[in-house]
């Protein structure tokens, strides 16, 4: 039985089916270069990362996967900011939304970035105990990826 949580900051470690883990939520530009990072626990839904998206992103369009298909938390915020959302609708939606399938194919850029990021062993296995140090390692690895 785990003891009480120690006082202090959240270390972005959460328990999911695969065990303890951390999710890295990333915003990339049109070339697949990282712009922003947010860490959450492994059990957190992807929308938690969407809540931390900067509302004043410079891009005119946000391309995301089906997990971001949330009217109030994502789509309404983007529409209010005058941005276009290219997000495939979830299968159980009553009212189907339209989206551009050709633009949605550019979503592979984020997957490519994560594939490159996971090449760094310390990132893939999260050796750092604190979220601050792990996020610093993610920033260093992303810088190395950007410069290559």
Between CA 80 and CA 103 the distance in angstroms is: 21
- Beta bridge partners, 68, equal none
What is the pLDDT at residue 9? 66
What is the pLDDT at residue 6? 60
What is the pLDDT at residue 139? 95
**What CATH number has the domain bearing residue 74?**
3.30.420
Q: How far apart are the first and last CA of the chain?
A: 46
Statement: residue 54 has pLDDT above 80: no
The pTM of the whole model exceeds 0.75: yes
Q: Is 104 in contact with 63 (CB distance < 8 Å)?
A: yes
Query: Lowest mean pLDDT: which of 13-17, 28-32, 85-89?
Result: 13-17
Question: Looking at the domain assignment, is residue 124 inside a domain?
Answer: yes
Statement: residue 4 has pLDDT above 60: no
Its domain, for residue 90, covers 14-142
What is the pLDDT at residue 126? 87
Q: What would the pLDDT profile of 74-96 be if each residue is shown by its tens digit? A: 888 888 888 888 998 888 888 88
Question: Looking at the domain assignment, is residue 88 inside a domain?
Answer: yes
Nearest-CA neighbor of 98 among 75, 80, 128, 130? 75
Q: What would the pLDDT profile of 111-131 be if each residue is shown by its tens digit? A: 999 999 999 999 998 888 888
Question: Looking at the domain assignment, is residue 32 inside a domain?
Answer: yes
User: What's the structural domain count of the chain?
Assistant: 1
Nearest-CA neighbor of 129 among 41, 12, 7? 12
Nearest-CA neighbor of 93 among 65, 71, 61, 64? 71
Between CA 81 and CA 60 the distance in angstroms is: 9
CA 4 to chain centre: 29
Question: Looking at the domain assignment, is residue 2 inside a domain?
Answer: no
Please compute the mean of the pLDDT values over residues 69-75 and round it to a whole number.
Answer: 86
Q: Is 113 in contact with 87 (CB distance < 8 Å)?
A: no
Q: Which residues, other chains included, contact 113 with Cβ-Cβ below 8 Å and sequence gap of 6+?
A: 26, 28, 32, 33, 34, 145
Nearest-CA neighbor of 87 among 111, 110, 54, 62? 62
- What rounded mean pLDDT belongs to the chain? 85
Statement: residue 3 has pLDDT above 60: no
Please compute the mean of the pLDDT values over residues 10-30 and round it to a whole number.
Answer: 83
Between CA 72 and CA 63 the distance in angstroms is: 17
């Amino acid at each position: 039985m785990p003891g009480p949580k120690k006082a202090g900051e959240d270390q972005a470690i959460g328990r999911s089916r695969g065990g303890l883990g951390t999710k890295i939520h990333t915003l990339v530009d049109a070339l697949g270069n990282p712009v922003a990072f947010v860490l959450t626990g492994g059990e957190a839904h992807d929308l938690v990362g969407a809540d931390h998206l900067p509302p004043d992103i410079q891009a005119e369009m946000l391309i995301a996967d089906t997990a971001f298909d949330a009217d109030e938390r994502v789509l309404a915020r983007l529409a209010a900011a005058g941005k276009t959302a290219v997000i495939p609708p979830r299968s159980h939606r009553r009212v189907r939304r339209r989206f551009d399938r050709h633009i949605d194919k550019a979503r592979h850029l984020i997957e490519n970035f994560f594939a490159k990021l996971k090449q760094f062993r310390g990132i893939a296995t999260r050796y750092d105990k604190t979220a601050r140090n792990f996020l610093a390692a993610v920033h260093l690895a992303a810088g190395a990826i950007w410069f290559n």
